[in-house]
Amino acid sequence: MPDHTRPPGQRVTIYDVALEADVSPSTVSRAFSRPSRVNSETAERIRQVAERLGYRTNPLARALTTSRSQMIALVIADITNPVYAEIVRGAQEAATDGEYTTVLIDAQESDRLERAAVERTMSTVDGIVLASSRMSDSAIRMVAKQRPVVVLNRALADVPCVVTDNPRGVRRAAEHLGELGHDHITYVAGPQASWPNGIRWRSLLEAGMELEIKVRQIGPFSPTMAGGERAAQELCARPATAVLAFNDQMAIGIIRGLSRMGVNVPGDVSVVGFDNILAADIVTPGLTTVAAPLYAEGSAATRHLLTMIGGAPGHTGRPMVLPVRLVVRDSTAARNPSPGRARPPWVRQRPVPGPAAHLL
């Protein structure tokens, strides 16, 4: 029965459990932190008493004796970006399976805020997953020297990493657009500090050379719908019939921006995104996109981190690469042939001033 002599709101302590179970406080502590060192019958009696009294272990207090808090940090670049929803879910479920709690940190697309938050949190967690980190390589290595670290969506030579097959995804997008008759592809770049952004552009350059498709880059732009809408203005200044955006949010913003200027997608311009977020299947027209295994990314990174915390070696010399696939929807279509191949007819009808594109 519950202990009715305890004042309302007063926390049940390890000493209360020890008194009720007729054991020492140190035995109660071992029953929860190192159960293998306690007689099984005694440990079961302690658990029953703890449950009856409403005792809950304090992970920070337990960390003082076990050197583990049973908490990990998951650092994401922007909590408002829906791409992280499935990553967070995969990480949290993997952490829960390992009896760990996840501390979520939003870096707000800032390397400075990210580093400050990691430094504040480092002493209270057993390990860290950095998802799309904006910190420098040297800063990440410094963190990895102090706590087990797994990096997601970025490859470092000497830190455990989980990445998606960006080159394959870009190649499939380029092949798809080439099959539709597009001989020019414009890449709308995301943040300069984003590792996938650089990989996707370089992969498009290689695919363009192999497929005999001309490519160019504009940007960088914010990886948001607002950033995509700003990119749409530049696309009208430097027209294209096919666009590959850094991510789905930007691609959706591009579709919205072009539509407001009277440009039809996919009739005038075909648009491809990256990630396959939920909105990609809801927007009109449905967005053709390179689907990344977002849940699997979060889960794989977290499970690997937990093995490292348990003492397993973390670095294998190569990043873990997860497969991607192209999901074809209605935002891409066959190129509309016209006499003015360099300038599609919709541009001559609706010229829009804007800054020159950045060619790399």
Is 63 a residue whose pLDDT tops 80? no
Banded model confidence at residue 64, pLDDT cuts 50, 70, 90: very low
CA 270/CA 254 separation, integer angstroms: 11
- pLDDT at residue 35, as a whole number: 72
Higher pLDDT among residues 232 and 350, named by residue: 232
CA separation for the pair 73, 315 (Å, rounded): 19
- What is the DSSP code string of 241-280? SEEEESSHHHHHHHHHHHHHTT--TTTT-EEEEEE--GGG
Average pLDDT over residues 112-117: 93
Question: What's the gap between Cα 26 and its chain centre?
Answer: 42
Residue 2 reports pLDDT greater than 50:
no
User: Of 311 and 219, which is predicted with more confidence?
Assistant: 219
Q: Is the pLDDT of residue 273 over 80?
A: yes
Instruction: Kindly state the average pLDDT of the residues 113-122.
Output: 92
Is the overall model pTM greater than 0.85, yes or no? Answer: no
The beta-carbon contacts of 204-211 under 8 Å, at least 24 apart in sequence, are: 204/170, 204/174, 204/244, 206/167, 207/170, 207/171, 207/174, 207/175, 208/174, 211/174, 211/175, 211/178
Report which of residues 202 and 24 the model is more confident about. Answer: 202
- Residue 143 — very low, low, confident or very high, per pLDDT cuts 50/70/90? very high
Give residue 1's pLDDT: 42
Confidence check: pLDDT of 34 > 70: no
Average pLDDT over residues 204-220: 96
pLDDT of residue 4: 45
pLDDT tens per residue across span 323-348: 999 999 999 999 987 534 444 444 44
Which token pair is 119? 């430094």
Q: Give the pLDDT confidence of 149-196 residue by residue, as tens digits.
A: 999 999 888 899 999 999 999 999 999 999 999 999 999 999 998 999
Which whole number is the average pLDDT over 112-130?
93
| Mean pLDDT, rounded, of the chain | 86
- Give the pLDDT of residue 183: 95
Instruction: Report residue 270's pLDDT band, with 50, 70 and 90 as the boundaries.
Output: very high
332 class by beta-carbon count within 10 Å (0-12 exposed, 13-18 middle, 19+ buried): buried
